[in-house]
Amino acid sequence: MAEALRSTIEKSTKIDNGPPIRYQLQLKRDNLDKKKDEESKLRKFTYGECEHKYLKKTILLVGATGSGKSTLVNVLVNYVMGVEFTDRLWFEAVSDESPGTESQTSAVSVYEVFGFEGTVVPYSLTIIDTPGYGHTEGIENDEMIIKLLQDLFCLPGVVDTVNAVGLVMKATENRLDERTAYIFNSVTSLFGKDMEQNIVIMITHSSGRKAKDALKALKDAKILCATQKNEPVYFQFDNCQKQTIEDDSDDDEAAKQAFMKSSKGMKKFTTFLETTKPQSLKATVEVMKERIRLTACIQNLKERVKELEMKQTAITKNKEELSRYKQQMEENKDFTVEIDVTYKEPEPINAWWDNKAVTCKKCEENCHHPGCTWVWSPNWCEVMKDGKCTSCSGKCPVEDHEKDKFRYVTKTKTITQTLNEMQKKYKKNKDMTETVTTLLQALENEKSQLQQAKVKCLDEAFDLLEKLEKIALNVDSVSTCVHLEFLIEKMENGDDEKLQKLTRMRDQMSKKIKAATKYFSKLSLKS
């Protein structure tokens, strides 16, 4: 046994007598989001001390709940540490028995392993383990993962480059169902076009035979990833290294074969890491930010369209009321009628996964909700660009915004007013004739202005979609499909050229994207 492993055993905690004897690595923890351990959703765990003379390779693992990502983290760690089958031991960075196991399933965890450079590979390893997509908690959990990754990539000096993005799936997968399609397309939509050759398939629970069905399912679904000889670049691993080996020669031989299969897959994967150019996360962060701005714009648009429709309904009712009592109102200045008015009211936010929103005090609008999590000030919110908001209708300066535990909700109430009181809102000069006719015209003018504001917001959302199409590796993401459907519906009586392009983009989306969108919708209904 190598001296480095003996030293590691002395610093670790035994959790099972085995064989193999299992040890929990003692890792230094740093909560990157500066929250308490039980609340933190973005953590870094470090073993050993970093020596800057060595290269660092970074791997991002993403997959469905139950795909074997956490076990794969341990397989990677043991391989670079130089653990052999004959050592009869196994180290765990992620353990089912470790404190906080439940919370780590909903957090992004960064694992750094130093001190073994040159043992098997000439570099240190950084592994980013994400929560399982498609979790039973619903779409909020999946959207939170995307936001956490964006937060991680934006933190200075933590993760600047990525050498490989591993899409983790079981060898037994023979088709990409709605959930798996949703997961993989959500992930590939995060990255810039320069990342495609760094995205690989990590096949777990492998028997050692080529996972033909799983690879065919990926190819049929046109999942964007690195390819070789017209086939996805993939690596296969067994997931049973920590299982106790029975006192039986057959079981011992089976355990040895399983260990060797994973070691073979690891050797191929680490060779890939050495020969593949690392990708800067600059383009990825820009794609993420633009997607966040797009989502915020669409969400803001939906709320403003709802407000518009409520105001239109009120205007229609008020016009009927004015026409009915036209003569009485013009003859008696104190005559009152019941009219509907819309207003905005702040309401508290109760969702556990999104406890604050960035709002505009001037426009009384929700500029980033849901989705604004770790930033402590509107200055740092992704919807802010060049000192101004990209979401609210006034594109107001950042100082007009605040972050708090409330959002604006548009409501309608009924009040009584005289003709003179109603005219005050529209009266531009003292000579304006106080008649019901002029008031009716003023209401029509307001209705027209609201329609123009709607068209402007639709155009802004269209421009964001076009920009995403130019920079994103996979613009055909599930969220984009949902946005497209909404924009198409609202642009039906608008710009024909833009409507045609939106319709063309939607029609070009693969069946798997549409299937994933159905999954997205199902989760949204449950949540």
Among 400, 424, 448, the domain boundary falls at 424
User: Does one domain contain both 144 and 198?
Assistant: yes
Establish if 317 belongs to a structural domain: yes
Establish if 309 belongs to a structural domain: yes
What the block records as the tokens of 299 is 């969400």
| pLDDT tens track for 400-455 | 999 988 999 999 999 999 988 888 887 765 555 678 888 888 888 888 888 887 88
Establish if 503 belongs to a structural domain: no
Among 382, 397, 424, the domain boundary falls at 424
SS3 state at 267: helix
Sign of CA dihedral 71, 77, 83, 87: negative
User: Does one domain contain both 249 and 271?
Assistant: yes
User: Does one domain contain both 315 and 336?
Assistant: yes
Establish if 270 belongs to a structural domain: yes
User: Does one domain contain both 216 and 156?
Assistant: yes
CA atoms within 13 A on the CB side of 426: 20
The residue length of the chain stands at 527
* pLDDT tens for the 527 residues of the chain, in order: 678 889 999 999 999 998 999 999 999 999 998 889 988 989 999 999 998 899 999 999 988 878 888 889 999 999 999 999 999 999 999 875 444 444 445 789 999 999 999 999 999 999 999 887 655 455 555 567 777 887 888 888 889 899 999 999 888 887 776 667 777 777 777 777 788 899 999 999 888 888 888 888 888 777 888 998 888 999 999 888 888 888 888 999 989 998 998 999 999 999 999 988 898 887 777 777 777 787 788 888 888 888 988 998 899 899 899 999 999 988 898 999 999 999 999 999 875 445 689 999 999 999 998 767 666 789 988 899 899 999 998 999 999 999 988 999 999 999 999 988 888 887 765 555 678 888 888 888 888 888 887 888 788 788 877 777 777 676 656 566 777 788 888 877 667 888 888 888 777 665 555 555 555 555 554 44
User: Does one domain contain both 269 and 296?
Assistant: no
Q: What does DSSP assign to residue 221?
A: T
CA atoms within 13 A on the CB side of 8: 27
HEC secondary structure over 23-72: EECCCEEEECCCCCCCCCCEEEEEECCCCCCCEEEEEEEEEECCCCHHHH
**Per-residue pLDDT at 497:** 86
User: Does one domain contain both 209 and 346?
Assistant: no
Please count the structural domains in the chain: 2
**Per-residue pLDDT at 140:** 55
**Per-residue pLDDT at 522:** 55
Give the burial class of 376: count Cβ atoms within 10 A of its Cβ; 0-12 exposed, 13-18 middle, 19 or more buried. Answer: exposed
User: Does one domain contain both 297 and 239?
Assistant: no
The CATH number assigned to the domain holding 217 equals 3.40.50.300
Instruction: Compute the distance between CA of residue 455 and CA of residue 458 in angstroms, rounded to an integer.
Output: 5
**Per-residue pLDDT at 65:** 78
Establish if 408 belongs to a structural domain: yes
User: Does one domain contain both 343 and 273?
Assistant: no
- Model-wide pTM > 0.75: no
Establish if 456 belongs to a structural domain: no
Establish if 143 belongs to a structural domain: yes
Cis peptide before 99 (omega within 30 of 0): no
Among 252, 277, 302, the domain boundary falls at 277
Establish if 518 belongs to a structural domain: no
User: Does one domain contain both 159 and 266?
Assistant: yes
Q: What does DSSP assign to residue 495?
A: -
CB environment 214-237: b (16+ within 10 A), e (fewer): bbebbeebebbbbeeeeebbbbbb
User: Does one domain contain both 304 and 261?
Assistant: no
User: Does one domain contain both 250 and 338?
Assistant: no
**Per-residue pLDDT at 462:** 84
| pLDDT tens track for 258-293 | 899 899 999 999 999 998 889 888 777 777 777 778
**Per-residue pLDDT at 359:** 95
Q: What range does the domain containing 76 cover?
A: 3-277
Cis peptide before 20 (omega within 30 of 0): yes
User: Does one domain contain both 128 and 184?
Assistant: yes
